[in-house]
Structure 1
């Protein structure tokens, strides 16, 4: 079943790069008590993700925070080292939490996985964005394959 508006965030282990190295965090604990925007991409360093998706959220971070967003996170089925390197290359700094869903557990639990085997990518996450309020999905915007419209920072800003 695909995650829908009103659903609780699935509880799975994600990772991000901390000051002393990789740190694990439970998804439900991460989003508890916060208003968060999570956007997911099929892969770090891929063309649309690197040229438009991630940079859009970096550019709009102040506008998102002004609308009451406590946390903006980028999620991908990549390892924590790749997500960290991608964040550095995109000058994310501490603006966006770069979350690794290394084994695709979140994508699968959310029903938002896709098969990128035809591109040599294996099982990945669909492209989407969601607004989470205290661990519950208040809005979710899932892209059609190959599209980049409803998961953009600008689209999310209009929904807030």
Structure 2
């Protein structure tokens, strides 16, 4: 079942690189703040690297001015996410979350089979505004699309 507006974020563990590999509980990560979480099919893939992540890097200050933190999530390991962040000069304030086993992606119901492309289980492209652990806005892209999950679109949807 796909997560919907009004649902609480499921509780699983994701990772990121901080002082080494950090294991983060998703309920704790999202509970006391507003976070714009966007998910991508894969680090270093064309649309993700040329448009999706760079759009959030360029607009990070605008989200922060509105009291919204930003997190990027992909079905990759934390070392890949760290290298990807460095490749686009993503500031440390933009959380790069690794969902290496796709547990969070599956719990959200946003997994897709990309085996035909040699990529296995991946995340659908999406963006959601999470306010104190509850999904307030959810945009899921149709396969091959990049529009409603962009930083520009999500900024236009903030209240």
Tell me by how many angstroms 1:6 deviates. 0.2
Q: Counterpart in 1 of 2:41?
A: 42
Whole-angstrom distance in 1 between the partners of 2:93 and 2:147: 22
Map Cα deviations across residues 44-93 of structure 1 (whole Å, 9 max, x no partner): 00000000000000000111112221x21000000011001001111012
Q: Counterpart in 2 of 1:92?
A: 90
1:1-160 counterparts in 2 under 5 A? 1-19=1-19, 21-69=20-68, 71-160=69-158
TM-score w.r.t. length of structure 1: 0.97
Please, what is the CA RMSD of the aligned residues? 0.6
Contact 1:128 1:140 in 2 (8 A): yes
SS of equivalent residue, structure 1 residue 149: coil
Runs of 4+ in 1 over 3 A off after TM superposition: none
SS of equivalent residue, structure 2 residue 35: strand
Contact 1:43 1:124 in 2 (8 A): yes
TM-score w.r.t. length of structure 2: 0.98
Whole-angstrom distance in 2 between the partners of 1:79 and 1:94: 17
Whole-angstrom distance in 1 between the partners of 2:91 and 2:33: 20
